[in-house]
Amino acid sequence: MSTTAINWSSFKLRVNIKKTIEELYSNWTTPQALESWFLREAVFVDADGKERSRSASVQKGDTYTWRWHGYPDDVKETGIVLEANGSDLFRFSFSLGCPVTIQIYPEAGETIVELMESDLPTDDKTTSGHFVGDSRGWIFYLANLKSIVEGGIDLRNKNVNIRDVITS
């Protein structure tokens, strides 16, 4: 039996996807692509207050408002793009302002999308509400990204009247 303590302040998830690094980077960094597998609405605003076009790549310093299928309009996440290198690294603030880092790289003939959410507070409420809740959500959405880009099947619940399902 392992006695290694769990680090509740961060988690890392990986998924292998049979697409190029460039294609997968675009899936994370353009509003139109984010809405194809992750969000109902993705709005990014640049430093000058101008909304980015749906096909434009987001940039460091952009702010965002995100809404999900299966939830009413008042359920949203706002944050800021912390880093977007144009090729394989995307970082943004998320729940409680905690950074989420997306790294995309080759491994064993496929492409890995690695997500790390870090700097999570470690009190009991945060551990159950964010470490567990956020990681469960990210697991689903990473699986949906793979499903969409490899096979075209969208697994998301898009019915706001159906609640408490694993697909939203």
> Which domains, and CATH codes, for the chain?
11-151 (3.30.530.20)
> Which two three-digit tokens encode residue 146?
């793979």
Residues forming beta bridges with residue 20, ordered by sequence position: none
Residues forming beta bridges with residue 107, ordered by sequence position: 110
Residue 2 banded pLDDT, cuts 50, 70, 90? low
Residue 124 banded pLDDT, cuts 50, 70, 90? confident
pLDDT tens for 66-75 read 999 988 899 9
How far apart CA 149 and CA 147 sit, in angstroms, is 6
Q: Which helix (H) or strand (E) holds 74?
A: none
Least confident of 74-83, 93-102, 126-135: 126-135
Q: Is the per-residue pLDDT at 3 higher than 90? A: no
- Does residue 120 contact residue 105 with C-beta atoms inside 8 Å? no
Residue type, 89: L
